[in-house]
Chain A
Amino acid sequence: MPDPEDIKVVKDLLQAIIKAKKNLRIYPANNPIYAKTVNNTHLKIEAIFEYLDEIPLRMTRNEILYGGEPVFKGVGKDDNLALFFSRDGLKDLIFKSGLTKEEFQSFLEIVSYDFDSEDIADDVITLLWEKDFQNIKYTVDESILVEEDEEDYEEEAVKQVKERSAGEDDLTKAYSDALKSEETAKEIQLVPITDKDVTALAALREKVARDKKGKLIDILYEMLLMSEDFYEFHEITAIVANAMEYSIKQGDLRTAIEILWRAKTFDETTVTEFDSKEELNHIFRSAESPEIIKVIGDMMDEEPGIEDIVLQEYVSFLSRNSIPQFITILGELKTIKARKSVVNALVFLGGKDIAVLAKGLSDSRWYVVRNIIYVLRKVGDPKALDYLLRAAGHSDPRVRKELLKTIGESKGGPKAAAVVKDCLDDPESFVRTTAARALGSIGSDFAKRVMLDRLSDGKFLSVDFNEKKEFFEVLSRWRDSTVFDFLMKTVKKRALFKRAKHNENKAVAAYALGLMGNKNALPVLEKMRRSSNRFLSEYAYAAIKRIEYGKQG
């Protein structure tokens, strides 16, 4: 019977392990509490090793025994350390003096796994085995490995083989033949292993260390060629699809690309007696499933991420059906780099089906809508305009701004200009200036008329100076007499009231004339330059210089 004091410290140790199990589950490895927990638990066991060489523990279903005495009693499943170990067949667990903190941390990490809910391919015994602890030993009850109906296998097999053993006569015959024989032993020549052999072996080993996925892919495509009927072909394509998913889940998009490329090549170059195309499509469909695109999204956000060129290569194999999945992850990605890549992917995919892409305009997340507008602009399909115009009234000004930029670049017709016109009244200044720029990009007579009307409107006088400047700059793009006359008129205008505001108009009109580069404006501008108002004088001077040096806007 062990010393009661020893029993007490072992009990404490087990409680500390249970506490560590919880903390290690809750906190990430870089959290100070994680490190503190490991440290404290190790200190506890080290203190025991001051006077004990080892701590042998015997596991039963609900109890842990130390020297035959219970030191832990578990009830149910939660926190039941005894059940945790015993259910996989662990019988004895022995901690030995010399246990390092690193070893103990690895042990605690295994203990902290939640085998019921986490996707862990191995049981606790395998995890302990793989660690090959120097100072934690264990014994295992191997009987759980044997199927119930095979329990007597050993006995029967031994009996059977012994029944066939040689009888006395056989032995006697063997003996007399051996005596009579004149043959001497002809040994196989043992060739000593040389340094050259070891070098050759090292080369072989290096190959084995390399990733084997590529080799499996080779084999699977060989097997597709070897398939004797549709059913076999169907089964192998399903495995190829699984292999591709596995590669992606392992963070290996390049192997997935290789798989897709080979599926495509197979489809293009191989003739089968059955419809292989539909089966091969199964691989492509897997590549664009929501689950897989989600995994790709997660990978993109993590270090080292996915190179844009690699993602685009992958996407080149996907169909329009993948668009919704990419729109979904677009709203979830955290890094700009990742979002940029997905946007690029959508630009490629959107070309395949603009209608599906445009559904993203209804997304509840403003930034997704803004990105989709950008994508639609990059796709450059004239049909995109219809969808874009429907999003004109979006509640977020940043979306409205993106939309106006896109409409402007699309140089849409009167319908587009009419939508833009409405945006000149937007409550946000940056949306209004974007609308003005859009009208400038559209460049139609209607757009010009809208601009002239806006600038002639009395309300425009009170607009912020910078906004005025933007508007006049846009107007200067129509280098015709209507605009020239309007600007000249503005520059010459005399005002009795709100003179400062009028002067702002005059200054930005001069600025616009400078941008137009029309030398006919020089006399008026010269006059303005001589003005005692320094503000007007400076703007006129800048415009003159611009016209003289031919720097048109």
Chain B
Amino acid sequence: MESKGEIDLQKHAKDIVNNLAVIFRSAQIHDAANVAVVSSINKFTPMVNRLIKAEGAISIELVGEYFFVNGSRVKFPSEYIVSFEFLANEFTNRGLGSITFSDSIDVNDMQTLVKTFITSISAPEPLEALMEGMQNSERITLGKIRIQKDDEDVEVDARMAVKKTYFNAVSFTKGVMKKMSSGEKVNVKRAKRVVQSMVDQLLGEHELLLGMTAIKDYDDYTYHHSVNVSILSIALGQKLGFPRKMLLDLGLAALFHDIGKLDIPPEVLNKPAELSEEEWGTIKRHPFWGVKAILDIRGIDRSSITAAIVAFEHHIHHDNTGYPKRQTAAERDLFSKIVSIVDQYDGMTSARVYSRTPLTPDRALKLMLSRAGSQLDPILMKFYINLIGVYPTGSLVMLNTKELGLVYGSTDMPNRPKVLVIMDSNGQKVDGYLVDLSRKTKDGRYPRAILRTMDPNKYRINLAEYML
């Protein structure tokens, strides 16, 4: 018998989840006895049985957006994204939280599971149908979806930690830029620490930190913008399945993408009126100055090279227009493509000196979608929309219950986010209570839906009052 240490669970976990998704996908098209389904099952069972021998039992659990195998979060490569998202949706749609294989399984066990799983979706209570269908199985047990702790204290603690991370990052960025302006040395090790903290928060409290980027009404636009771009880039990188180290490099590059703006005279950078051609020329030099600044302060190493590339390319478009103009056309780096999407989004949705009225998040996304393929990479744009959702955090929405609220975070259903209600159905201001539009009532109805979106800037409404 193989012992615990002999099999690298983490290494096999991603394949197990992926294969389970493949089985269910093919069973949606074919009968459980079909050769395609059976062949997938034949691949899956020995894999699981081998791990059961080593581990005793194998439990595949969905918690939030992530799968855990025997308690360890499964990290997956980008080629598995579709499978993982499919399986997560199928679990969520049935209210299924976990499948546990407690003893060696065979093809018959799996065929029973597959049949029950597929038919359960059309039952009024899919989970009940699933549980009932599997009640005679001794080797496979199912668990309902675990509601993540919504204990208020835990939520408050998490929010405090996220706030701390966010403001630490902003104040650090401010400190770095001030130091650079005065020609002082900058501590790069600390920059890494700041970004690591953001990566960790995004891997955990994903929604909360993304929510922080939706608060736009700060004075120090430049510093908040740098941090927002870093956070949103990391989040997109995470969506694309980047490993942690890569997320760190991406976050660092994004944090310093606009560092060249330090060389732009403040009267040009902060000019409230339209810029002259010459002033535009100066603005367009900031990618050039950015490379210089990054390689000056950080010397040359793997991550500073990445940051310099992003600083240079983040205004070069997908079709090679934009600036700076190159003598030789070259494909932009993936990180540059990510940062240019995020940079546009955060820029459009923020109030800046030369554009006091920001676009609403949904309008910004619509505009950006129209630029996919010309200015922006169309594939990454797709992933970005999937990240931000149909109703991005910070959107002002009227619900069909006549409650007015701000979108506070996404759920597994893109058109049913979490909403923080700020005016109740009687038009009375309330302290802010959270409703999850993806939650059904006992009779299987969705009690709330979004009726229309409004422009929060028009009414000076922002998340800050409720999140901070």
Contacts and interface: CB of A to CB of B under 8 A. Distances in A.
Given A100-B5, A162-B465, A201 B454 contact: no
A258 to B, nearest CB: 14
Contacts of A150: 171-172, 174-175
Interface string B376-408: 010110110110011100001110001010000
A126 interface: yes
A49 B334 CA distance: 45
Contacts, number: 244
B61 interface: no
A208 to B, nearest CB: 4
Interface in B426-468: 427, 429, 450-454, 456, 458-462, 464-465, 468
B72 interface: yes
B215 interface: yes
Given A160-B218, A170-B461, A236-B292, A123 B385 contact: no
A145 interface: yes
Nearest to A218: B330
A225 to B, nearest CB: 6
A200 B78 contact: no
Interface string A190-230: 11011101111110110110001101101110110110000
Contacts of A154: 163-164, 167-168, 171
Nearest to A149: B175
Contact of A174 (B383, B386, B454): B454
A126 B305 contact: no
B281 to A, nearest CB: 10
Given A142-B165, A178-B454, A205 B85 contact: no
A80 B114 CA distance: 58
Contact of B167 (A153, A173, A213): A153
Given A145-B190, A191-B382, A174 B404 contact: yes
B50 to A, nearest CB: 19
Contacts of B397: 185
A145 B78 contact: no
Contact of A165 (B218, B244, B460): B460
Residues of B contacting A: mostly: helix
B349 interface: no
A452 B423 CA distance: 121
B82 A170 contact: no
A164 B460 contact: yes
Contact of A172 (B81, B245, B334, B427): B427
A154 to B, nearest CB: 4
Contacts of A242: 295, 299-300
B454 A168 contact: no
Contacts of B5: 100
- What's the interface size class on B, roughly? 35 or more
A179 B461 contact: no
A243 B167 contact: no
A188 B385 contact: yes
A160 B81 contact: no
A222 B328 contact: yes
A122 interface: yes
What 5 pairs across the A-B complex have the smallest Cβ distances? A147-B175, A154-B167, A153-B171, A150-B171, A174-B459
7 contacts: A142-B164, A157-B218, A162-B465, A166-B461, A188-B369, A193-B383, A223-B291
Interface of A: 89, 100, 121-123, 125-126, 129-130, 132, 134, 140, 142-147, 149-151, 153-154, 157-158, 160-162, 164-168, 170-179, 181, 183-188, 190-191, 193-195, 197-202, 204-205, 207-208, 212-213, 215-216, 218-220, 222-223, 225-226, 235-236, 239, 242-243, 246
Interface of B: 5, 10, 72, 78-79, 81-82, 85, 163-165, 167-168, 170-172, 174-175, 188-190, 192-194, 196-197, 200, 215, 217-220, 240, 244-246, 248, 288, 291-292, 295-296, 299-302, 305-306, 308-309, 312-313, 324, 326-328, 330-331, 333-335, 337, 362, 365-366, 369, 377, 379-380, 382-383, 385-386, 389-391, 396-398, 402, 404, 414-415, 422-423, 427, 429, 450-454, 456, 458-462, 464-465, 468
